[in-house]
């Protein structure tokens, strides 16, 4: 196997024997074959658009299938094999439509002609021949950019899929995604063509995130500041992890009046801020921290657990019967529930003991997404102009198991009293329960939401730049980001597309970025690897 798509990749080079995430070589090969097959489907989709054919089912499926290849989503070879078969079936049907409309479909070779083997074992062998390490592209830097584009597109696909589930779609997102995926088959594009395409992934991602923002706020309202207990209530319990709001809503509806309390885990924490979700009385608190601590936290949870999207880790025997997957998530032998029938999850929660007593403990605040923050824009502007707020830091991104991630905790601890910290995504669990106090009535620590809400943070930055009449790079705002998986890659590309400079990125730089590509990023965008919190703060604030 050869997989280097995430931050925890072995030796910061590639996982070649077994994924650090627990991915087995067969699944890695099948995901490579699925990506290859999706390139072929995309080639046909691109030809189709030239003659006015676009198939919604194909478009939706492309995103769903790519979503399965993200880190920590699907570890089940049978699932991935089914996706490969379906990709090819859809491709052949689409070919017939495109041909009937007078389009080109006579591909002589390559992914658009792939015939998957009938057995999973044979498919694994086919996948081994088309992995990222077998890319026929001879130029190392072009290869690096191509792979960056593919990983970014995996992130775009995840956002587009989330948005689609709540009824928000845009043909332009599907078209852009398929065009670039199809282009990765070409060997005639130059380095600059690929720089352009990588930034285009960032552009497409902004639209995908905008759709998701519209989907979430349109369905559940704008998040409002909300106090979330970190303790629990006596009684039966279900824990929801992942990122999917619709799954949570359906589960809340189906558990109403059943004496079950529903808790969030990981990236579901910001869900407590949505009026359309917080209205459920049995939707109570937050349990646990970020994804990488799940083995310990899930083992101690006395109820059923639902994993709606990434980030799933190998379920331990002690809770294997209590955990359920939905949507594109899968683990061999773990019960997968069909959307949206959560009766197996509810039944298991009723069988399990639940919490034996109430706890009264700490709480955290959520709900500082764009509507809340921009609702107090006057206050913010006044505080900056009057000198009460010196600087904003967006300390955001993923969490992970590496010790280097302590940087982010320390950084937030060291941020001076006259500065505000905005945060989003699961990296916040390094400091989310710290009481940083207030400035001029505003909390010094504001949780904008999930990684899926990065659009909200971008909107806050753009609105502030408008209010101060300066470019985003001139604002008293610094981005200190942590990355882990491919949604973070997509977000990073969006920030670059917007021309945002001076991003500090850690805990390590992506293994798929070649030295020359890194040089381009440093030269054009002043991207900096994180150093120490002390040094970085000094460099940013000048004191
Ligand atoms: Fe974290 Fe995982 Fe949300 Fe990522 S939960 S690491 S960017 O997948 O998705 O923030
Ligand atoms: Fe390794 Fe990350 Fe790939 Fe898993 S997703 S196999 S940890 S590079």
Class of domain 10-219: mainly alpha
Ligand having the closest approach to the CA of 487: 1
Class of domain 226-351: alpha beta
- The CATH 1.20.1270.20 portion of the chain extends over 10-219
Distance in Å, CA 147 to ligand 2 centroid: 14
Residue in the structure block whose two tokens are 């009385």: 281
Residues of the chain under the 70 pLDDT cut: 543
- Percent helix, strand, coil in the chain, to 5, is 50, 15, 35
DSSP assigned state of 9? -
Q: What pLDDT is attached to residue 441?
A: 86
Q: What pLDDT is attached to residue 115?
A: 98
Using a 6 Å cutoff on CB, does residue 319 contact ligand 1?
A: no
Q: Is residue 274 classed as helix, strand or coil in its secondary structure?
A: coil
Distance in Å, CA 23 to ligand 2 centroid: 7
Percent of the chain scoring above 90 in pLDDT? 98
Pocket mutation for ligand 2, best pick of 10, 21, 155, 484 (most atoms within 8 Å of C-beta): 21
Q: What pLDDT is attached to residue 264?
A: 98
Among 269, 274, 251, 250, smallest CA distance to 261 is for 251
Buried b (16+ CB within 10 A) or exposed e, 156-177: bbbbbbbbbbbebbbeebbbbb
- Cα 320 to Cα 300: distance, rounded to the nearest angstrom: 12
Q: What pLDDT is attached to residue 58?
A: 98
Q: At what angle do helices 171-183 and 191-220 cross, to 10 degrees?
A: 150
For residue 504, give every residue at least 6 positions away whose Cβ sits within 8 Å of its Cβ, in sequence order, or none.
478, 479, 480, 481, 528, 529, 530, 536
Measured by CA distance, the residue closest to atom 6 of ligand 2 is 19
DSSP string, 153-213: HHHHHHHHHHHHHTT---HHHHHHHHHHHHHTT-S---HHHHHHHHHHHHHHHHHHHHHHH
- Cα 472 to Cα 468: distance, rounded to the nearest angstrom: 10
Using a 6 Å cutoff on CB, does residue 241 contact ligand 2?
A: no
Q: Which atom of ligand 2 is nearest to the CA of 20?
A: 7
- 3 annotated ligand binder: yes
Q: Which helix (H) or strand (E) holds 286?
A: strand 283-286
Q: Which atom of ligand 2 is nearest to the CA of 71?
A: 5
Q: What pLDDT is attached to residue 361?
A: 81
Among 364, 347, 310, 50, smallest CA distance to 158 is for 310
Task: Given CATH 3.40.50.720, say whether it is the number of domain 367-541.
Answer: no
Q: Which atom of ligand 1 is nearest to the CA of 452?
A: 3
- 426 annotated ligand binder: yes
- The CATH 3.40.50.2030 portion of the chain extends over 226-351, 367-541
Using a 6 Å cutoff on CB, does residue 70 contact ligand 1?
A: no
Q: Which atom of ligand 2 is nearest to the CA of 28?
A: 6
- Cα 45 to Cα 331: distance, rounded to the nearest angstrom: 31
Distance in Å, CA 340 to ligand 2 centroid: 30
- 485 annotated ligand binder: yes
Measured by CA distance, the residue closest to atom 9 of ligand 1 is 451
* Sign of torsion over alpha carbons 498, 502, 503, 507: positive
Q: Using CB atoms within 10 A of its CB, is residue 98 exposed (0-12), middle (13-18) or buried (19+)?
A: buried
């Amino acid at each position: 196997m050869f997989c280097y798509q995430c931050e925890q990749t072995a030796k910061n080079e590639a996982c070649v024997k077994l994924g650090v995430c627990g991915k087995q070589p067969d699944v890695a090969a099948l995901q490579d074959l699925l990506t290859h097959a999706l390139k072929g489907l995309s080639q046909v989709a691109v030809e189709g658009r030239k003659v006015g054919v676009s198939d919604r089912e194909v478009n939706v499926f492309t995103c769903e299938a790519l979503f399965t290849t993200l880190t920590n989503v699907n570890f089940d070879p049978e699932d991935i094999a089914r996706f490969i078969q379906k990709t090819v079936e859809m491709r052949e049907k689409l070919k017939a439509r495109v041909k009937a409309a007078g389009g080109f479909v006579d591909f002589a070779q390559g992914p658009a002609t792939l015939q998957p083997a009938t057995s999973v074992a044979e498919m694994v062998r086919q996948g081994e021949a088309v992995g990222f390490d077998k890319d026929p592209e001879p130029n190392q830097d072009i290869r690096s950019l191509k792979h960056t584009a593919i990983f970014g597109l995996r992130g775009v696909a995840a956002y587009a899929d989330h948005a689609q589930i709540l009824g928000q779609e845009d043909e332009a997102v599907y078209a852009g995604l398929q065009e670039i995926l199809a282009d990765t088959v070409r060997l005639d594009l130059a380095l600059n063509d690929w720089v352009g395409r990588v930034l285009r992934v960032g552009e497409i991602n902004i639209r995908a995130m905008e759709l998701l923002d519209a989907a979430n706020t349109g369905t559940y309202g704008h998040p409002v500041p909300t106090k979330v207990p970190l303790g629990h209530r006596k009684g039966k319990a279900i824990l929801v992890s992942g990122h999917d709001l619709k799954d949570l809503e359906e589960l809340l509806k189906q558990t109403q009046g059943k004496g079950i309390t529903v808790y969030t885990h990981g990236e579901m924490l910001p869900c407590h801020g949505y009026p359309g979700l917080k209205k459920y009385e049995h939707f109570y608190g937050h349990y646990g921290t970020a994804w990488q601590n799940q083995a310990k936290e899930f083992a101690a949870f006395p109820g059923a657990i639902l994993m709606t999207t990434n980030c799933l880790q190998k379920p331990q025997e002690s809770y294997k019967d209590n955990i359920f997957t939905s949507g594109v998530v899968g683990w061999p032998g773990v019960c997968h529930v069909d959307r949206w029938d959560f009766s197996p999850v509810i039944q298991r929660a009723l069988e399990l003991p639940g919490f034996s007593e109430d706890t009264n403990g700490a709480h955290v605040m959520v709900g500082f997404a764009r509507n809340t923050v921009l609702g107090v824009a006057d206050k913010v502007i006044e505080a900056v102009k009057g000198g009460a707020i010196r600087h904003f830091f967006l300390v955001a991104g993923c969490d992970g198991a590496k010790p280097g991630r302590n940087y982010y905790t320390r950084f937030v601890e060291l941020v001076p009293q006259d500065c505000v910290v905005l945060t989003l995504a699961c990296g916040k669990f390094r400091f989310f329960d710290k009481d940083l106090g207030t400035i001029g009535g505003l909390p010094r620590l504001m949780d904008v939401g999930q990684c899926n809400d990065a659009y909200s943070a971008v909107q806050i930055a753009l609105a502030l730049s408008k209010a101060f009449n300066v470019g985003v790079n001139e604002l008293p705002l610094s981005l200190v980001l942590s990355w882990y998986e491919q949604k973070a890659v997509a977000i990073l590309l969006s920030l670059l597309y917007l021309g945002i400079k001076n991003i500090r990125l850690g805990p390590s730089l992506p293994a798929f970025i070649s030295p020359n590509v890194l040089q381009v990023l440093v030269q054009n965008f002043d991207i900096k690897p994180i150093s120490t919190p002390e040094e970085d703060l000094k460099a940013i604030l000048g004191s």
